[in-house]
Amino acid sequence: MKHLSYWDRQTWFNDIDFAIVGSGIVGLQTAIQLKKSQPNAKILVLERGTLPHGASTKNAGFACFGSVSELLSDLERHTETEVLDLVEARWEGLRLLRQELDGQSFGYEALGGYEVFRTEDASSVQTCFDAIPELNHKLSSIFDGPVFQIKATNSSFSGFYEHTIFNRFEGQLNAGDMIQALLSKAHSLGILILNGLKVTHFSSTFEGVVIDLDGLEVKCKRLAICTNGFASELLEEDVQPARNQVLMTTPITGLQIQGSYHLDQGYYYFRNVGNRILLGGGRHLDMTGETTFDMNQTPEIQTHLEGLLRNHILPNVSFEIEHRWSGILGIGSQKKPIVKELQPNVYCGIRMGGMGVAIGSLVGHQLSKLMTEP
């Protein structure tokens, strides 16, 4: 930043109307909606990584809104209205994402979702099965028809209960293609996007905001923080990082698994990616250790994931692990996202609660509207 020319400063860092920190789903959707409502505005998106750094390209690509066991767990910590509002917001967010990327390929497939249970979890299985009629009734105002139904579990699995819960409204997508499509849309609208720039500090006044970019001070009229799991580096809000570790197999000939699968209230999840299996989760095995900004993996959780994969999901199947990565989620005491004005001309859209793919687009719409209110 010490070697910028006059041209660099004038083109990229001068007369900025809206600056957005984070180029994930929320940040890009916020920028896109701002540009649609303010076509003459100069909008600059600042991203610390070469690619979105948190979870938007590091997730499993689940287009989901909550399994039965997860919703029942949420009902223990939230009111019924709060849980139903969250499901509706996630479903609306998925609709807005598909609408924004209509006609662009991002790997969306409506293959449905399944919640599977271990054979030793008999009590939790029955609790979930018994809750299905009431949950379907509560969700009937959101969805066109019953959401959950009981089906037979895939016969190739080992150690899982003989029945599973199927959700026909669930889908999956290619997270990389999704972000690439959003980036393409943003570029086509004239939105400026810079990578490799970390915001270290900002200060606001009623006239605007000054942002510190590695010693370079940049002024904008309004600033949005859309860094989700990394938000606590800049803000004092109820959000903390939660690392989720993921692995993916080599291609498997004759793979019979299709769709998205949830286990243990969503703490484990797996799906097919073509003829590969992606498996992630295990954060509950070490909640303290996984409350981190570190993007690396740990031997303990990776070994546990491999054991689950080899012994239960793909028993007697030959494969190798080809990819491993981690993503940083943003969670807090509540699952409702934080969308608000923090101080004069500074706003945030954070705390996706592990459902950024689903709810992120709605948060972007809400944040852009909030930022343009008189």
Same domain for 254 and 226, yes or no, is: no
CATH code (residue 54): 3.50.50.60
Provide DSSP, 46-110: EESSSS--SSTTTS--EE----HHHHHHHHHHS-HHHHHHHHHHHHHHHHHHHHHTTTS----B-
In a domain, 356, yes or no: yes
Distance CA 221, CA 18 (A): 6
Same domain for 183 and 47, yes or no, is: yes
In a domain, 294, yes or no: yes
In a domain, 11, yes or no: yes
CATH code (residue 251): 3.30.9.10
Q: What's the pLDDT at 374?
A: 80
Same domain for 324 and 344, yes or no, is: no
Same domain for 185 and 298, yes or no, is: no
Paired with 209 in beta bridges are 204, 220
Q: What is the dihedral of CA 327, 333, 334, 337, to 10 degrees?
A: -50
277: three-class secondary structure by DSSP: strand
DSSP tag of 300: H
Q: What's the pLDDT at 53?
A: 82
Provide DSSP, 159-196: SB-SEEEEETT-EE--HHHHHHHHHHHHHHTT-EEEES
Same domain for 73 and 214, yes or no, is: no
The parent domain of residue 206 ranges over: 6-58+176-238+335-371
Number of domains in the chain: 2
Are 110 and 98 in contact, with CB atoms under 8 Å apart? no
pLDDT, tens digit only, all 374 positions of the chain = 678 999 999 999 999 999 999 999 999 999 999 999 999 999 999 999 988 888 899 999 999 999 999 999 999 999 999 999 999 999 999 999 999 999 889 999 999 999 999 999 888 999 999 999 999 999 999 999 999 999 999 999 999 999 999 999 999 999 999 999 999 999 999 999 999 999 999 999 899 999 999 889 999 999 999 999 999 999 999 999 999 999 999 999 999 999 999 999 999 999 999 999 999 999 999 999 999 999 999 999 999 999 999 999 999 999 999 999 999 999 999 999 999 999 999 999 999 999 999 999 999 999 999 999 98
Cβ-in-10-Å burial (0-12, 13-18, 19+) of 61 comes to: buried
Same domain for 302 and 244, yes or no, is: yes
pLDDT digits 0-9 by tens, 196-246: 999 999 999 899 999 999 889 999 999 999 999 999 999 999 999 999 999
Distance CA 221, CA 225 (A): 14
Q: Is 320 left (phi over 0), alpha (psi -120 to 50) or beta?
A: beta
Q: What's the pLDDT at 123?
A: 84
Task: Provide φ and ψ at 93, rounded to 5°.
Answer: -60, -40
Number of H helices, E strands in the chain: 8, 18
In a domain, 256, yes or no: yes
Same domain for 146 and 249, yes or no, is: yes
Same domain for 230 and 344, yes or no, is: yes
Same domain for 52 and 127, yes or no, is: no
In a domain, 102, yes or no: yes
**What 3 state SS string does 359-370 have?**
HHHHHHHHHHHH
Cα separations in angstroms, 190 against 140, 206, 307: 41, 27, 48
Q: What's the pLDDT at 122?
A: 84
Same domain for 247 and 292, yes or no, is: yes
What amino acid occupies position 326?
A: S
In a domain, 135, yes or no: yes
pLDDT digits 0-9 by tens, 18-69: 999 999 999 999 999 999 999 999 999 999 998 888 889 999 999 999 999 9
Q: What's the pLDDT at 52?
A: 86
Cβ neighbours of 128 (radius 10 Å): 22
Same domain for 17 and 157, yes or no, is: no
DSSP tag of 43: E
Q: What's the pLDDT at 51?
A: 85
In a domain, 104, yes or no: yes
Are 371 and 364 in contact, with CB atoms under 8 Å apart? no
In a domain, 1, yes or no: no
DSSP tag of 309: I
Q: What's the pLDDT at 266?
A: 92
Task: Provide φ and ψ at 199, rounded to 5°.
Answer: -80, 120
Cα separations in angstroms, 115 against 66, 69, 200, 271, 330: 10, 8, 41, 12, 23
Same domain for 13 and 154, yes or no, is: no
